[in-house]
Structure 1
Amino acid sequence: MNKMIHAAAGAVAILTIAIFWLSTALSELFAPQATIIAVKSAIPWGFLLLVPALMAAGGSGFALANGRRAALVGAKIKRMPWIAANGLLLLIPSALFLASKAKAAEFDASFYAVQVVELAAGAVNITLLSLNMRDGLKMKGWLRRRPA
């Protein structure tokens, strides 16, 4: 059961972050201001899905590790503090700031500076979560391990 929860929660988390990232990038590049406002206003509501998914993935992952810290399990565990810190210290505050600025239609230099930081931090989290997913698939035997 823990394996199913871990896989489902991890998939929801990475998909949610990817949707946030893509919707932000596409709306900023191609959409009218009203769409940008809608996207930036909706993202904080997505935290109601994302935060529990990340907590479930992390908690079930630690339970599945069962005290092991070697090889792929250790690599996944080492990435988790970076994922959490990036989310708590950069992504959530950035998203709240950008939602506030967008609702006020204040698309100034500070909005775009924070937007760049948010997109970069989001790309980092997508990468780290993808590496964790890859290592999980290797541990399950769904991906072939490369010889050392």
Structure 2
Amino acid sequence: MTKIIHPFAGAVALITIATFWLSTALSELFASHETVAMVKTAIPWGFLLLIPMLAATGGSGFVLAKQRRAGLIGAKIKRMPFIAGNGILVLIPAALFLASKAKAAEFDTTFYAVQTFELVAGAANIVLLGLNMRDGLKMKGRFRARQPDRLTTKPIL
């Protein structure tokens, strides 16, 4: 069961964070302040899905790893404190702050500074979670090793 929960929860978490990020970026670039306010106030409600999915991903990952800490598993484990810390210390407080500012229609310099910081931190988490997903797929044999390019390799004589 853990082998099913881990990839499912990880994929849902990554898709949820990417949805938050894209919704924010697109609304800021192309929509009205009312739409931005709607997006920013909806994101904290998404935490009701995101936080359990991240917890399930982390918990099931540690169960699947058992005592192994080398190779791709070690790389995934080393990324997790940065992902969790970024989420808990930066992304959640920023999202709550931005939701309150947007609800009050306070689109000032502070709002946009925090918004920029949140987008950068969110992009970092998307990249880190994507790397973890890539490494998980490699461990499952879903990615094959690259074959050398036949045109650039020298024939063996």
**Short-chain TM bin:** over 0.9
Q: Aligned residues: percent identity?
A: 73
Residue 67 of structure 1 aligns to a residue whose secondary structure is coil
Partner of 2:70: 70
Kept in 2, the 8 Å contact 1:44–1:95? The answer is yes
Partner of 1:140: 140
Using the TM superposition, give the Cα deviation of residue 137 of structure 1 relative to its aligned residue in structure 2, in angstroms.
0.2
> After the TM superposition, which residues 30-69 of structure 1 pair with which residues of structure 2 at under 5 Å, given as runs?
30-69=30-69
Using the TM superposition, give the Cα deviation of residue 145 of structure 1 relative to its aligned residue in structure 2, in angstroms.
3.8
Using the TM superposition, give the Cα deviation of residue 146 of structure 1 relative to its aligned residue in structure 2, in angstroms.
5.5
> After the TM superposition, which residues 81-120 of structure 1 pair with which residues of structure 2 at under 5 Å, given as runs?
81-120=81-120
Q: TM-score, normalised by structure 1?
A: 0.98
Equivalent position amino acid for 1:121 in 2: A
Residue 68 of structure 2 aligns to a residue whose secondary structure is coil
Using the TM superposition, give the Cα deviation of residue 33 of structure 1 relative to its aligned residue in structure 2, in angstroms.
1.1
* Cα distance in structure 1, aligned partners of 2:116 and 2:89: 15
* Cα distance in structure 2, aligned partners of 1:108 and 1:141: 49
Equivalent position amino acid for 1:123 in 2: A
Using the TM superposition, give the Cα deviation of residue 116 of structure 1 relative to its aligned residue in structure 2, in angstroms.
0.3
> Where do 4+ consecutive residues of structure 1 move more than 3 Å?
none
Equivalent position amino acid for 1:53 in 2: M
Partner of 2:151: none
Q: Deviations over 1:98-125 (max 9, x none)?
A: 0000000000000000000000000000
* Cα distance in structure 1, aligned partners of 2:101 and 2:88: 19
Q: Deviations over 1:23-59 (max 9, x none)?
A: 0000000001111010000000000000000000000
Larger Rg: 2
Partner of 1:5: 5
Kept in 2, the 8 Å contact 1:138–1:145? The answer is no
Equivalent position amino acid for 2:17 in 1: I
* Cα distance in structure 2, aligned partners of 1:52 and 1:87: 13
Q: Deviations over 1:68-95 (max 9, x none)?
A: 0010000000000000000000000000
* Cα distance in structure 2, aligned partners of 1:76 and 1:146: 21
